[in-house]
Structure 1
Amino acid sequence: MKHTLSVLVEDEAGVLTRIAGLFARRGFNIESLAVGPAEQMGISRITMVVPGDEREIEQLTKQLYKLIHVLKVQDITDVPCVERELMLIKVNGTPLTRREIIEIAQVFRARVVDLAEDSLTLEVTGDPGKMVAIVQMLQKFGIREMARTGKIALVRESGVNTEYLKTLVSRGS
């Protein structure tokens, strides 16, 4: 199972290297990693997606707490969260296919950020499922390049589980 960990660290040189080293020594792969300033000056938030069972993640959490500069580790996998990714995707686009690509982009609320004679570059923001879906739709045109930020997430203070709400809406349709 994939777990999403939110880790607050002191914004010091080498912290990310020590965390990556810990994962490497334990044989864990980091599938997604996003790092940036947190709400407090001098603190960074690391959001990572890692595969593992409950026991492995619990052990990993204990190991992270042993690292200097690690302030808080939270497994937010089963907690209602707001999750987003940013993706730039460059797609082959001729004058004949351009209209269809733009229509797909509109459905996904993506923006065209660059237009060349034979390609379009789209900016897509949303949950990880949206990223997978638009890539599948654009595959038939030929994807030239793609860059994704990795998932970032914050716990929903409202406690509303949007995944649960989606199942209610789909049953009602």
Structure 2
Amino acid sequence: MQIPPQTSERHTLSVIVDNEAGILARIAGMFSARGYNIESLTVADVTEDAAISRITVVTSGPPAVIEQIIAQLDRLVPVHRVTDLTAWGPHVTRELALVKVAGVGDHRIEAMRLAEVYRARVVDATIGSFVFEVTGAPEKIDKFTELMREVGLVEVARTGVVAITRGREAV
């Protein structure tokens, strides 16, 4: 009897931690030691006194692996709480990217047209290039950069995903 392969799912995890030296390295080390992939990682303090940080991790795996990741993160000290935003329900996910495009003539005009469609903002311009700022869901940024390859994409810098649940409750 052959066991069917489990499908890999993409999950966004919110990890609330004490803001202390080494915690990010411990979390990244936990992923690395067990062979789990981190697709996106962002960190920022979330309290006035900078005592608590939110780490947002995007990872993929079968449901059993995601459960294992959450359980292992939850056991780390000084982790206060791990929330699987994907399983939780409605949440808002955003990312910011700076996209440098070089081109002249029709390529320059097309880059501006595409930027308008994707609501990207010009944050730097020279005679031969633009730097666009685009925000939105990661899929939107993926599509924008894919289209910009056709008109002269030079480089991309992305922030990584930030996410928060919808509604009145904090998780």
- Measured against the shorter chain, the TM-score band is 0.7 to 0.9
Deviations 1:139-158 (A, max 9, x none): 10121110111110000016
**Match 2:160 to one of 150, 154, 158:** 150
Which residue does 2:92 correspond to in 1? 82
Q: TM-score, normalised by structure 1?
A: 0.86
**Match 2:127 to one of 117, 120, 125:** 117
The number of residue pairs the alignment matches comes to 159
Q: TM-score, normalised by structure 2?
A: 0.87
Cα separation, 2, equivalents of 1:146 and 1:132: 10
SS at match of 1:104: helix
Deviations 1:67-113 (A, max 9, x none): 11101001111411111000001011214422221121111111111
Cα separation, 2, equivalents of 1:93 and 1:6: 40
Cα separation, 1, equivalents of 2:33 and 2:146: 35
Cα separation, 2, equivalents of 1:103 and 1:158: 38
Cα distance, 1:21–1:88 mapped onto 2, change above 3 Å: same
Name segments (4+ residues, structure 1) moved above 6 Å.
Answer: none
SS at match of 1:109: coil
Gapped regions of structure 1 (runs ≥ 5): 160-173
Deviations 1:31-71 (A, max 9, x none): 11111112463111111111111111111111112211101
Cα separation, 1, equivalents of 2:128 and 2:120: 19
